[in-house]
Chain A
């Protein structure tokens, strides 16, 4: 099928048998459908239900999460309105005020990695943070990721003032409010996909049965239903990154932090992974993606550019790239058989 695909890398044979396009729609499978699949232990494709939307059947009270508001973009040079930044009913996921970070390297050497950053990210946004090396974007990522504390300034995550928390409290924030996706996937090589995805729930104190159940559900969501019991070395790069995404989602985070998630992937798989992220975002997940690659940044809805420890540009992406469309174009270009598979899968009965 895609043997002649120029973008196809030889180290990605798994994708040949299992076209990844159909897994993008898997995101749209509803929660209870995924649950059903997980309960059935179904490894393959779950029959797509009829057109009745499934979500009302999910017995879930309204979210603790505030409703989506119109994305408010705040230019770096603008003063943040106090009422806008105060976590109220339209509470932003991230509120950062005058954040600075200074590394003390020696008695006289100090590096000002961040020199007063102010930023707000609202629910449902897809923000990329760009900038050259040394621009402070990695430092900012560490602060957003609750891995480090700022030298000064405030950082509110989901209504909680993170910048004053203790180490243990920061760990709890990482566990419950954040999901990380790294360039190197950062999976435990000796554990199966399910075990990897279940790991955050260990630190949340869930029982083994519950961990397994939830992990399977989320793996279905990211379209890895058939490869749950494989270990990372047995998975392709794209599949490994999906496992990592599932792990990031498994505790129901308020924010997904992705650090060069496509850095280790070929262009074809990058489109696949960006498709997953876009699909997640379209369903309301807030994503902050750190990259130096403007091609990757073009998939987001908003770009924030760092330079010398400051935000120098913060603007919406007027016409974001659509991974879904690119993927379909790629597939139709290379093979008609794959497309027909997709079509038959997408229009059941």
Chain B
């Protein structure tokens, strides 16, 4: 080393630099000099993320409480989403299982839509049902008479829905039998007093005595019916199993004393042909009822796809409502983020000053605080997603709904929390970036 300590007069060092090139420091500085500049966007981002996480970790209690607002909001959104999506899936499953069915109701004056009370107009006849049987793509047609009556067996009494139908209903509604058989076409022709019991009705009438219901006599409106079969349960929460099915002719003669019927159910071979069949049915019934083009139909033809649409609309409204409520809580969480970021900017004016003095541009400061808000929100969103799914899972389990996760469920929390970070983080970040460098640098720690 060419360094000699010599207590001589000033200058202290006997070895004077001849020029900058010759001193090692100058060489080092030249080496350190940065020529390539501002190319490292990824580097900057990485450094921003690092310092953001650093800063959040320094104030971890505060960060946790702030993220809690986002976290609860996101969890609420996710729980609401899984719930409505589960309910909607359940409805779709059940209605979808009924297959490609076209329904005809009597009209209700001029008002369009679902028939309100089948008694308001009685325009459908068994003849109408027969006339649509031969249509192409139709694989089953059943007239339907519906009434609500108490059914009595021994001292057991149960109020249920009585449906008069024909043998095709088994196909149309996809019924399985646990005991006995469906009533025969002879029973149908003669209007025999025979009945099929739904699962719910069977349990309510026969569980007490424990007898085999097949061959037993039950009473409906003082008429005695012989039980010929028991229907397998179809499940679901729509009370489909709370039913007694009798021949439609029997229902006409013995229960309602009417030549008319309440509904016609038409089974179509595939979903693609449902619309076409509905159209043909409409045409035939118009001819049957002698309705001119200018007059309104006295019947309504409906398909399950229309009903599905309605259900879809309903669940959509429900989803919107729940998400709206969750959005309010997210907004509150976002305001929390903004508040904390503002405090953070004030607290760290000193740090901003340092960064400015060593060459941070305004947008670097802006990015740093945005990234910090983003990190806060995304962590909240991530944890919220986990909790929301957990809540959704447990609620759907309890209410026996299917647990559905859609891409929306997974993407939404990130989109929402990133959105909140940008909306509520931009103001504090802009504030930080606009700090006067001189003021910031002179600010004490």
Contact = CB atoms under 8 A, between A and B. Distances in A.
A155 interface: no
**B contact face: mostly helix, strand, loop, or mixed:** helix
Contacts of B1: 25, 28-29, 48-51, 346, 348
Contact of B30 (A64, A167, A200, A203): A64
Given A31-B27, A186-B357, A322-B10, A206 B437 contact: no
Given A31-B31, A51-B2, A204-B37, A171 B54 contact: no
Contact of B361 (A68, A167, A346): A167
A48 B43 CA distance: 36
A147 B438 contact: yes
Interface stretch (B17-25, B141-149, B320-328, B393-401): B17-25
A90 to B, nearest CB: 12
Given A147-B438, A199-B358, A205-B40, A64 B24 contact: no
Interface string A77-110: 0000000000000000000000000000000000
A253 interface: yes
B32 A182 contact: no
Interface string B1-21: 111010101111100110111
B33 to A, nearest CB: 3
Interface stretch (A7-15, A53-61, A308-316): A53-61
B186 interface: no
Interface in B147-197: none
Contact of B17 (A283, A319, A324): A283
B206 interface: no
Interface stretch (B346-354, B402-410, B422-430): B346-354
B445 interface: yes
A319 B41 CA distance: 49
Given A51-B2, A123-B20, A251-B34, A325 B362 contact: no
Contact of B40 (A176, A199, A207): A207
A280 interface: yes
Contact of B46 (A208, A214, A346): A208
A279 B15 CA distance: 11
B221 interface: no
B271 interface: no
Interface residues of B, number: 60
Contacts of A346: 1, 3, 5
A250 B437 contact: no
A16 interface: no
A42 B9 CA distance: 35
B61 interface: no
Interface in A243-264: 247, 249-253
Given A30-B24, A63-B21, A221-B25, A186 B438 contact: no
A307 interface: no
A174 B360 CA distance: 8
Task: Output the residue of B16, B34, B58, B362 with the most chain A CB within 10 A.
Answer: B34
B83 interface: no
A28 B22 CA distance: 12
A180 interface: yes
Nearest to B34: A204
Contacts of A171: 356, 359-362, 364
B34 A176 contact: yes
Contact of A172 (B20, B359, B438): B359
The 8 A-B residue pairs with the shortest CB-CB distance, nearest first, are: A175-B359, A205-B40, A252-B33, A283-B25, A252-B32, A31-B28, A30-B24, A283-B23
Interface of A: 25, 27-31, 34, 48-51, 53-55, 58, 60, 62-65, 67-68, 123-124, 142, 145, 147-148, 167-168, 171-176, 180, 182, 184, 186-191, 199-208, 214, 217-218, 221, 247, 249-253, 278-280, 282-285, 319-325, 328, 342, 346, 348
Given A206-B43, A221-B25, 6 more contacts: A142-B438, A147-B356, A251-B32, A282-B13, A285-B29, A328-B5
